[in-house]
Amino acid sequence: MGNIDELIDKLARDGTAIKPALHPVLLSLEWIAAAVFYLAVALVVSGLRTDLIVKLHEPWFVAEIAVLAGIIIATSLSAALLSFPDLHQMRRVALAPAIAFALFALVMLFAWRADNPPSQPPIHSVECTLNITMLAILPAASIFFVMRKFASTHHYWSGGIAMLAAFSVGALWLRLYEQTDSIMHVIEWHYLPMILIGMLGMWLGKVLLKW
Amino acid sequence: MTDNSDNFASLMKQALAGDQRAYSELLQETSRLLRPFLAKRLSFTNEVDDLLQEILISIHKARHTYDGKRPYKPWVYAIARFRLQDHLRAHYADHLHHADDLSEIEETLQQDVTESAISYESISGEVEKLPEKQATILRMMHQEGYTAREIAERIGMNESAVKVAAHRAYKILRQKLEE
């Protein structure tokens, strides 16, 4: 007990005024705004796909883009909540990415069925994954950097969701830039790697988010 | 001070504003709140103290993640559970991993107390000299016939902790019997 009292005295002496962390909703809005800006810059640099106007008249393409944007929002919000030890007592909201990904799977299923006869896949393959990865490195690093200032008690989930947030930005960029109609190609080389990298993020979370 | 979430939240608000006295009171009350929670889950008083210190340091490090606008207890218990899990994972997994072979030792003792000249009764004096929790566990295991799981349920520990406590007790007894 003596040690505890001494420790409390010491901590109390160190207990200078401190500014409470940003509310997770505001934090996620910051991340989303940064993602929108980053995406805009990336599209200005890379250029938009030339058939974008035509594609925006295809319902399943629009749905895919909308749900991808939804994934960015849901994962950003969830990552912000997971940065707090108690998930800011909004545990259910932290599960939002599950709904977004379920919707996404549904949209991709319908898009795949609508892609009949199947569009010709592009000649390249893994280059898409590499492009998404290159573009996602900066958002991933910045999300992890911010999350390290908090106190997550869910390292695996925090890391995984942070990585998915970053890689969904990369995936959205590539979908607006790369001119391909093959749903199998985008599933195989855009979205499945994104989910696998989310799993790598779980490991990164364990390593990087210790406090 | 009453055990009231509002008081905790208000103390934390003052602490965040730099009131060191309020912060000290908050940490005192928090340690009173958490001690039974930890004691129920750990075998030894020194483990409880060590972990409590770790949790208090974690609360200090994470205090900026609490804004005083939501209940304090879920926040503090989230940190306590997180550190408790860390502690159990790190320490007990390690102990279990490096233990000679717990089941073998248990079997050895069971053979000793049932087949050889050494009965539980003949060493019960030594058992009673063990720390209280260890003695209770051995008594329940070998005199009353409970399994580790049943003991864990009855005394509010987890099964691994019961086995580790028993293992430590066996080691002590073995040393004494070999002297």
Query: Exposure of A120 by Cβ count < 10 A (0-12 exposed, 13-18 middle, 19+ buried)?
Result: exposed
What was the pLDDT predicted at A154?
A: 96
% helix, strand, coil for chain B, step of 5: 80, 0, 20
Q: Which two tokens stand for residue A64?
A: 């895919």
CA torsion sign, A72 to A76 to A82 to A87?
negative
Asked if A4 lies within 8 A of B70 by C-beta distance, the reply is: no
Q: How many beta-carbon contacts under 8 Å exist across A and B?
A: 90
Tell me which chain A residues have a C-beta less than 8 angstroms from the C-beta of B21: 12
Interface of A with B (CB under 8 A): 1, 3-4, 7-9, 11-21, 23, 83-89, 150-151, 153, 211
Question: pLDDT under 50 in chain B at which residues?
Answer: 1-2, 101, 113-117
Rounded to the nearest angstrom, the minimum Cα separation between A40 and chain B is: 32
CB atoms within 10 A of CB B78: 20
Cα–Cα distances in angstroms (integers) from residue A119 to residues A181, A182, B113, in the given order = 6, 5, 77
Per-residue pLDDT of B148-176, as tens digits, reads: 888 888 888 888 888 888 888 888 887 77
pLDDT band at A181 (very low <50, low <70, confident <90, very high): confident
Tell me which chain B residues have a C-beta less than 8 angstroms from the C-beta of A14: 60
Cα gap A169→A54, rounded to integer Å: 22
Write the DSSP assignment of B139-162 as a string of letters: IIIIIS---HHHHHHHHT--HHHH
Which has the closest alpha carbon to A130: A40, A79, A193, A183?
A193
Cα–Cα distances in angstroms (integers) from residue A81 to residues A90, B66, B85, in the given order = 7, 12, 20
Instruction: Calculate the average pLDDT of chain A.
Output: 95
Asked if B60 lies within 8 A of A86 by C-beta distance, the reply is: no
Q: Are A132 and A194 in contact (CB under 8 A)?
A: yes
Please, which residues have CB within 8 angstroms of residue B107's CB and are 6 or more apart in sequence?
A: none
Q: Strand, helix or coil at B67?
A: coil
Asked if B60 lies within 8 A of A14 by C-beta distance, the reply is: yes
Asked if B20 lies within 8 A of A13 by C-beta distance, the reply is: yes
Q: Strand, helix or coil at B69?
A: coil
Interface of B with A (CB under 8 A): 15-18, 20-21, 23-24, 27-28, 31, 49, 52-53, 56-58, 60-68, 70-71, 74-75, 77-79, 81-82
What was the pLDDT predicted at B1?
A: 43
The residue assigned the tokens 């790369």 is A178
In b/e form, how buried is each residue of B21-35, taking b as 16+ CB within 10 angstroms? ebbbbbbbbbbebbb
What was the pLDDT predicted at B62?
A: 96
What was the pLDDT predicted at B99?
A: 54
Q: Are A132 and A42 in contact (CB under 8 A)?
A: no
**A76 has pLDDT over 60:** yes
